[in-house]
Structure 1
Amino acid sequence: MRASFLLDRLAPPLFIFIWATGYIVAKLAAPYADPLTFLAWRYAGVVALMLALAFAARAAWPSPRDMLHLAISGLGIQAIYLAGVWVSIRQGLPAGTAALIVNLQPVLVAAAAPLIGERVAPRQWLGVALGLAGVVLVIWHKLNLGGSYGTPLLLCLMALLAITGGTLYQKRFVPHFDLRTGQVVQFAASLAVTLPLAWALEPMRIQWTADVILAMAWSILVLTAGGISLMFYMLRHGRVTAVSSTMYLVPSVTSVMAWLLFGETLGAQAIAGMGVTLLGVYLVVGRAS
């Protein structure tokens, strides 16, 4: 009981920290690897890791019906979401614009929550709005909303809809499953879709530099095995509106990391935005817990 209580408290901040490193990993790998090719290698690594863990622990496998639900939700949460974000940024969409679009997810999740039997209270709606306002303040100096991005913008919108739909679908149809065998199913499905697309659309270039090796290891062992597992744990034990709202904090943490690692600007407006975002998330999570 004590271990479960501790994990419930530690899961959200750990998830936010891990998820925020995604942009750092993308920045490390982008010059040396085609996006879909990198993601295909990442999915294969996760499948191998989770298979080994599942067999070592003799973990229970989901039923055929649950496997189908897991595969569908996995395509949204992993394959389509990550492909949309990585390819859109690679094609020129500024990272700040991509981050703002993706962070509309809590708004969509809150709007769709009644479909899975969750009620969103007025206080939570206020928190959702404040969280979005805080995100805009944090990344405003990185936004570039001018110009014509066409396909990259559509890809990022596709990513937003995919992760939102995948999250709601999983919470509705298969909220409980073994994290090891469940991720084998989800990432195998993601690999089955991503690898042919990489072969068809990319030269499948990947240079195994130190940065790429570090990015790949971090993506498999920490971002996916750790971050995705924590997100699934929170979805299992919490309300989807509250879980998705924690993603509002990701741009703030990413901005601090970029300031520390790459010397990117972190001004007073961004710091104020972090405070607004924290207040918004508190209003959502505090009401839902």
Structure 2
Amino acid sequence: MTPVEATNHRTVALALMPAVFVFLWSTGFIGAKLGLPYVEPMTFLGLRFAICTLLLVPVVLLTRTRWPDRLADWGHIGFAGLLMHGGYLGFVFMGIGLGVPAGTAALIAGIQPLLVAALAGLFLGERVTGRQWLGLLLGLGGVILVVADKLSLGEGSVLGIGLCFAALFSIAFGTLYQKKYCSGMSLKSGNLIQFFVATVYFGLVAWAFEDMSVNWSGELVFALVWLVFVLSLGAITLLYILLRNGAAANVSSLFFLVPPCTAVVAYILFDEVLAGWSLLGMVVTIAGVALVNMKQTKVK
């Protein structure tokens, strides 16, 4: 392959990555919904990340992957992993375990671009415009419509919804922290460090608060395999590649496509329906996120 062909292949791959990432990321909510009837949330996640860690160890060792040079870098990578995996996934799984529909959980997490855009100025020096603040208000208003409608129908609970919002803040801060402090990390060794930290975290929380029993079933095994290989080893790696090649706010804008994608799959698999106020709320939220991430046109 010539250098020109290699460059063209890389360009095509980067162009396709956002669409692939959106689809893969949206299935994480479906995997949680599918597996949680058979195992408690922290135990489920502990198993997931323990398998990820064991799979990645020989890859890192056999390929002689570079490890972080400084102790501070180990700390940054580990802390980002706690936010991206421990906080985000832990709270999402607990929320879905308490009855929050997968589509609703995805919608709450889907306003992450709004928070990232609002906080990017503080953490990364990126300018936040008035249009973006308007989008933030629209997005939050749309989510409130969906949440109020779902609670009125008895779908989910206040605690479950609150946990999904905690997950939202965790992934937003995790994205900013990863971009600022960990953008130069090796994908293989960095992921391994974060998977190990997540394994320890979920294992300790499961040991302290759950009975750690597992009711093995075909659905659970499928969900576990899917979440390990497709989400943890696939989608997370894609996310970090995208963060390395683009601004935090631009990469986060992909998340606004996740809720509709999740809603479609949840409707097919679990008969979750978005109608009335919930459907209006999703449309308003997507419009708000699009407004935040719309490119500003220059008037000549």
Equivalent of 1:49 in 31, 55, 73: 55
Gaps of 5+ in 1: none
Corresponding residue of 2:98: 91
1:194 matched to 2:202: yes
Deviation digits for residues 235-265 of structure 1, max 9, x if unmatched? 1111111222211111100111123334444
Alignment of 1:105-184 (within 5 A): 105-115=112-122, 116-125=124-133, 143-144=150-151, 149=157, 151-184=159-192
CA distance in 2, matches of 1:275, 1:97: 13
Task: Give the one of 236, 245, 248 matched to 2:253.
Answer: 245
Label 1:186 to 1:72 Cα distance change in 2 as closer, same or farther (>3 A): same
Measure the CA separation in 1 of the matches of 2:51 and 2:173: 25
SS in 1 for 2:10: helix
Give the alignment's Cα RMSD to 1 decimal.
Answer: 3.0
Cα shift readout 1:181-228 (whole Å, capped 9, x = no counterpart): 101111111111110110111111212211111111111100111111
Aligned length: 287
* Partner residue in 1 for 2:14: 8
Measure the CA separation in 2 of the matches of 1:213 and 1:44.
Answer: 15
The residue aligned with 2:45 is 39
CA contact (8 A) 1:249 1:277 kept: no
TM-score with structure 1 setting the length: 0.86
SS of the residue aligned with 2:38? coil
TM-score if structure 2 supplies the norm length? 0.83
Shift of 1:142: 7.0
Identify the residue that residue 108 of structure 2 maps to in structure 1: 101
Judging changes above 3 Å, is the alpha-carbon distance between structure 1 residues 85 and 279 closer, same or farther for their aligned structure 2 residues? closer
**Residue 122 to residue 7, structure 1, CA distance change in 2 (3 Å):** farther
Unaligned runs of 5+ in 2: 1-6
Other-structure match for 2:88: 81
Bigger Cα Rg: 2
Contact 1:246 1:281 in 2 (8 A): no
SS in 1 for 2:12: helix
Q: Secondary structure at the match of 1:58?
A: coil
CA distance in 1: counterparts of 2:218 and 2:125, whole angstroms: 47
| Greater mean alpha carbon deviation, residues 268-277 or residues 21-30 | 268-277
- Say which is worse superposed, 43-52 or 72-81, in terms of deviation: 43-52
Contact 1:132/1:277 (<8 A) preserved: yes
- Percent identity for Structure 1 against Structure 2: 40
Q: Are the counterparts in 2 of residues 135 and 252 from structure 1 also a CA contact under 8 Å?
A: no
Label 1:272 to 1:93 Cα distance change in 2 as closer, same or farther (>3 A). closer
1:218 to 197, 219, 226: 226
Give the partner amino acid of 1:111. A
